[in-house]
Structure 1
């Protein structure tokens, strides 16, 4: 019998990131388990807070007085034993706290006390008699009879315009009754059937290999349109037939409607959907359905990897190369690593899929850590689109100052005449990327950040894409008072305006961060374009992958160089992936497709290989550069970012940390230290930013030693300086 519990307290302080021991009262010993949330007294004042049980002990020796658990917070454990393993794994690997790991595993609503939503709905009771056969009572009674169990009192009164007083009278004397029911907050729509397709020879081989192999870790490298989704659905069906559960991850919420539509069309409505655009209530209900064993399949973005399936057989990660699978907030986890670890401890199949695998993932196939499965052909006998490169320098020489080359303009015209759809891709939102004075050179910058403001034409405002601050645009330079204010650069808003100018009859849709803030906005735009209610879809990277529109015959890449110019070792890889992926949206139906790629850099290897759709050649060139430069996958990067409103305090303390780390690493020739130095964007939201970058053979123990050193050095100023530790970050900016 367990008498003591190891508990993580619900307190964000780094100093409290440890397991506290509590005594289990006799009344709870029969029912208490690892994973329960409990009420406990904590601190000098014995404030009652939540705690999470992560261990149980029969005996515990201690000189101090051990406090006692007060009660259970829930009727069931909210963490599984496997979740506890995952929490320990995350704390060590991602340098986070126990509590940060717990909070990412369970829905945020649980901490806030959200539970299943219930309602007292009204039914008819005994027959009306005596004085209760008046007209108003008879009307209410008959309406309830027609709508038995549909409404609660307030809903019924509002819908039918009847008095609550009369309702209460009929309830009081038993002519009406109520029953508490659970209200489902998740989407219960039924989708039209998505019939099963016969797998072609390549697809069948990949499916059979995954199902029948003793290996559990796979990468499906299939060109765009090769039918990876159909393989996923067959794998899920196989798991359902064997009584096992499946998780399918997609990188963008914009891809979720398409995946949900197909899976629910094939397997019915009992599929959980989990992503950040759901309300806290919806997320709780979906999580509870999974925990309760009510569904066998879940589809979602990054956080769906933690859903508490009890018989997990498969995790699929589609478009595995996408950087959105890596979290930028604590805990800074990578969903691919979490999924693979889950599969290893739960004995599940781990399947990655992409037309443009990340360099790190493909490298693992050469080491034998992942089994490589290749799809070289498009499904349904479709062919890859023809890709044409346009040198925008030549367009300038020919005096074409439009954002559309002559070739792209003429192809848009042709597609519109033929009733075909077009996708135009530009990975930058807004109207103009910066505003400047042509007389004195002044650039309009954010007051809170070291970044230029982006002009948004629809609202007539200048917006900071980092802190979100906004201000009205002015045509007068604040510095020299001249009126020579000009808008430079192009964003998706400008592309949309130019299309309306040159092709006024074309119906356009725009999919970027600005048009998809509202709930269900992704799905609305997706459905309008899928149903041919628009001719041209303009968007950022959220339209660059996965979407399958049969009538799209033309894709235009407005500026292929944008991602090349970022100060990041992954810039060439991201450029190759974006161009290849967005190009793959063309020609997915019976009609052939064409892709026009506009660039000022026609010699770059990432652009040339994407035009040729030659992943292997790109990989060979890129891996050689990574090896020479000592970048991942040949090393790890640990980025230490510190920020504060007090610039002098920040510089002094990060320099202290730098000196201490230099001494620790003095005899370690396998680690290179860069910095301390200001970040590329040296100020965000009024906080100055400095960083130290460590690159090399960084194992978990060393990373945790460095974490402890940093926090120990900063313990006196911890409230004034923010610290971020990130292993292999998405961005070094």
Structure 2
């Protein structure tokens, strides 16, 4: 018997290494990548066969046998398994967890995509078989001859009864077969069959090297730096058309589907059924079916958020990351991978072009382009040379000196009034949801904290409650202070709900829509709001960073940013980069039509270089200053980072475990130029009743550290979070 290496398909770090099982001869030749059923302890588990072992000597224990084979064909290709192994080793997750990223659900037993019955016409069928008296039957038969075949569900929708369908299905030359159901996107009604994708001279210059790489089927990573409104989407469309013309598959990644429906609409309008869209709103069966459409090569363009990079395509010819700088490409829970890394690995494995596009490329990506690792392509001007919006910076400290304590500066109020008077639209950004950011007693200063997390509760007007944004604990608003029993409870700070209330109070005739996490948790509401805003059913769109990226509204002439400092003050090394990205991207929503744009940015820190450079739309100026700061301080791209968080319900145990990890790593790597900082208290000391201690590791090359952690007890330590390349 052959000995197979099996990865158990269960999210447990203790099972991250392959187990050995005998493969009975009755199963014949089973290829790597196939799912199998194996015994484990007293239960049966699903496993993935990743290869075979050669036993040089008989083991001193009895190997158990594989019970059954679950796939007729392997689910995982060799490239998928190789990429999963890279993810496992690089991001320090189990091999099984990495393999599961290439699946629809954590177990594959639900993978049978839904099928439906089709009536298909064969050459034997003759319309004269159906009596002219049977008008409805002849009508159906004529339709089937015209289209060649159709699912029963469509025929029912067209008004044919079950009886008529049954009778025609029994006619000679009508074959009934089961086919996979098509999953319709939300934008199917947009299909236009557009064939030509015209490019400007500037776009064509940028497109030529991408086209050459696609034609030669070579691997090359391009960084497309194009200002907002420069027509990057047109290039994506042209490159995708070239790719599928070569019989290859294109993967188009966007930060979040709800925020970037513009690009989805453009692709569906251009390519129709060639497009498969993946997003969180799809049901499991719809995701199953879309996965099957790709595996069967029924569709050749895949659009989705970060998880779409794992699509089971065997012939990838192009991978695009739109808004490549966006932190949404990094998964911050469970398996902490970065879709950008995976795209680059898959692109290299498939010998295809990888196109990273952004108006504000990540500092690391631009550095790699400047060093020649990526090929830099630039679109410095908007389409048809439309001007960039005019940006005004307002110092909110001066507003307070003048006695204005409102959330709106005088300049902001004037911009809103002028925009409404001219019949134009406006986007207002406040990167803070809720009504008030914290609730405090005026007498003793006590802040109402979450009982499970060391964070202040946020007041939400909807439901009249306090809510924790980390564990979602909620409770009624207290009438007296829990500390001093005073009744002088006051709300401080402003969230999107409060600002919406203020806008309605000042501008009673304005039609206002709010877009934040509290709104979009209800299915399809976010998409409806964006579509209604596009159709000018609203005058003002207020929201968190959901309003900042990917949108192209031709009637938006004004943008207001209420608190530029909210991102700037985040305690991470990339805070300035995040602030510059957010301000520049949000400002770029203004003036994309035939009218000029105006932006007002409110801040308490007007001299910060990120704010100054964003006002001038000066990416290169910001990059030059930021890269020197990182060089001096030893941050990426000059040094690599691994961030760990030790969590435990007992604070002293968290300290003991964290110190043990640091002591062992320092001892093992004492002769190498690697810094081990910590353990120190995490930014939030306690979340969900778990105490948290941080460890930061920095060095020019951390491969050896990763390898040591992966093969030591540290990897399986319960409650340990490992974040490679934190951002």
Q: Give your verdict on TM over 0.5.
A: yes
Aligned positions, number? 701
Q: Find the counterpart in structure 1 of residue 694 from structure 2.
A: 691
Structure 2 CA distance, aligned partners of 1:666 and 1:673? 10
Structure 2 CA distance, aligned partners of 1:18 and 1:658? 24
**Post-superposition shift, 1:255?**
3.1
List gaps (5 residues or longer) in structure 1: 124-137
- Measured against aligned partners, the alpha-carbon deviations of 1:93-137 in whole angstroms (never above 9, x if no partner) come to 0111011101111111653524212457999xxxxxxxxxxxxxx
Structure 1 CA distance, aligned partners of 2:183 and 2:318? 26
Q: Find the counterpart in structure 2 of residue 134 from structure 1.
A: none
Q: Find the counterpart in structure 1 of residue 84 from structure 2.
A: 87
Q: Find the counterpart in structure 2 of residue 17 from structure 1.
A: 16
Structure 1 CA distance, aligned partners of 2:708 and 2:643? 14
Structure 1 CA distance, aligned partners of 2:637 and 2:428? 33
Structure 1 CA distance, aligned partners of 2:263 and 2:550? 9
- Measured against aligned partners, the alpha-carbon deviations of 1:185-239 in whole angstroms (never above 9, x if no partner) come to 4438231536745311211111002222566111001111000000110101111
Structure 2 CA distance, aligned partners of 1:264 and 1:122? 27
User: CA-atom RMSD, angstroms?
Assistant: 3.2
Q: Find the counterpart in structure 2 of residue 53 from structure 1.
A: 49
**Post-superposition shift, 1:41?**
2.0
- Measured against aligned partners, the alpha-carbon deviations of 1:30-75 in whole angstroms (never above 9, x if no partner) come to 4x211110112223x3x32111011135776441333222222123
Q: Find the counterpart in structure 1 of residue 557 from structure 2.
A: 553
Structure 2 counterpart of 1:701, from 683, 699, 704? 704
Q: Find the counterpart in structure 2 of residue 128 from structure 1.
A: none
**Post-superposition shift, 1:144?**
11
Instruction: Determine whether 1:206 maps to 2:206.
Output: yes
Structure 2 counterpart of 1:33, from 22, 31, 34? 31
Q: Find the counterpart in structure 1 of residue 626 from structure 2.
A: 622
**Post-superposition shift, 1:327?**
1.2
- Measured against aligned partners, the alpha-carbon deviations of 1:280-337 in whole angstroms (never above 9, x if no partner) come to 1121111111111111100000010110112111000010001111111232111111
Q: Find the counterpart in structure 2 of residue 433 from structure 1.
A: 437
Q: Find the counterpart in structure 2 of residue 216 from structure 1.
A: 220
Instruction: Determine whether 1:355 maps to 2:359.
Output: yes
Structure 1 CA distance, aligned partners of 2:591 and 2:360? 18
Instruction: Determine whether 1:300 maps to 2:298.
Output: no
Cα contact 1:575–1:606 (8 A) shared by 2: yes
> Which deviates more from structure 2 when the two are superposed, residues 442-451 or residues 60-69?
60-69
Cα contact 2:317–2:351 (8 A) shared by 1: yes
Taking structure 1 as reference, are residues 706 and 6 closer, same or farther at Cα in structure 2, changes over 3 Å only? closer
Structure 1 CA distance, aligned partners of 2:37 and 2:544? 47
**Post-superposition shift, 1:376?**
0.7
Structure 2 CA distance, aligned partners of 1:215 and 1:19? 32
Aligned with 1:52: secondary structure?
strand
Q: Find the counterpart in structure 1 of residue 74 from structure 2.
A: 77
Structure 2 counterpart of 1:527, from 525, 531, 537? 531
Structure 2 counterpart of 1:98, from 95, 98, 102? 95
Instruction: Determine whether 1:3 maps to 2:2.
Output: yes
Structure 2 CA distance, aligned partners of 1:586 and 1:332? 34
Q: Find the counterpart in structure 2 of residue 191 from structure 1.
A: 190
**Post-superposition shift, 1:461?**
1.1
Cα contact 1:122–1:144 (8 A) shared by 2: no
Aligned with 1:534: secondary structure?
coil
Aligned with 2:519: secondary structure?
coil
Taking structure 1 as reference, are residues 11 and 242 closer, same or farther at Cα in structure 2, changes over 3 Å only? closer
Structure 1 CA distance, aligned partners of 2:390 and 2:167? 73
> Which deviates more from structure 2 when the two are superposed, residues 630-639 or residues 479-488?
479-488
Aligned with 2:250: secondary structure?
strand
Map 1:22-421 onto structure 2 (within 5 A): 22-30=21-29, 32-43=30-41, 45=42, 47-56=43-52, 61-63=57-59, 64-108=61-105, 110-118=107-115, 182-187=180-185, 189-193=188-192, 196-213=196-213, 216-421=220-425
Aligned with 2:72: secondary structure?
coil
Instruction: Determine whether 1:564 maps to 2:561.
Output: no
Structure 2 CA distance, aligned partners of 1:61 and 1:37? 27
- Measured against aligned partners, the alpha-carbon deviations of 1:327-370 in whole angstroms (never above 9, x if no partner) come to 11232111111101111111010110011111111110121100
Aligned with 1:514: secondary structure?
helix
> Which deviates more from structure 2 when the two are superposed, residues 222-231 or residues 513-522?
513-522
List gaps (5 residues or longer) in structure 2: 121-133, 145-149
Structure 2 CA distance, aligned partners of 1:219 and 1:66? 51
Q: Find the counterpart in structure 2 of residue 127 from structure 1.
A: none
Q: Find the counterpart in structure 2 of residue 612 from structure 1.
A: 616
Aligned with 1:269: secondary structure?
helix
**Post-superposition shift, 1:661?**
2.2
Q: Find the counterpart in structure 2 of residue 131 from structure 1.
A: none
Structure 1 CA distance, aligned partners of 2:208 and 2:115? 45
Instruction: Determine whether 1:489 maps to 2:493.
Output: yes
Structure 1 counterpart of 2:679, from 676, 680, 684? 676
Cα contact 2:9–2:100 (8 A) shared by 1: no
TM norm structure 1 = 0.89
**Post-superposition shift, 1:542?**
1.6
Structure 2 CA distance, aligned partners of 1:265 and 1:424? 29
Structure 1 CA distance, aligned partners of 2:345 and 2:551? 29
Taking structure 1 as reference, are residues 186 and 37 closer, same or farther at Cα in structure 2, changes over 3 Å only? farther
Cα contact 1:100–1:330 (8 A) shared by 2: no
Aligned with 1:585: secondary structure?
coil
Cα contact 1:426–1:541 (8 A) shared by 2: yes
Cα contact 2:10–2:97 (8 A) shared by 1: no
Taking structure 1 as reference, are residues 185 and 395 closer, same or farther at Cα in structure 2, changes over 3 Å only? same
Structure 2 CA distance, aligned partners of 1:451 and 1:297? 43
Instruction: Determine whether 1:641 maps to 2:635.
Output: no
Cα contact 1:657–1:710 (8 A) shared by 2: no
**Post-superposition shift, 1:439?**
0.8
> Which deviates more from structure 2 when the two are superposed, residues 253-262 or residues 573-582?
253-262
**Post-superposition shift, 1:253?**
2.2
Q: Find the counterpart in structure 2 of residue 728 from structure 1.
A: 725
**Post-superposition shift, 1:634?**
0.7
Aligned with 1:108: secondary structure?
coil
> Which deviates more from structure 2 when the two are superposed, residues 379-388 or residues 629-638?
379-388
Q: Find the counterpart in structure 1 of residue 657 from structure 2.
A: 653
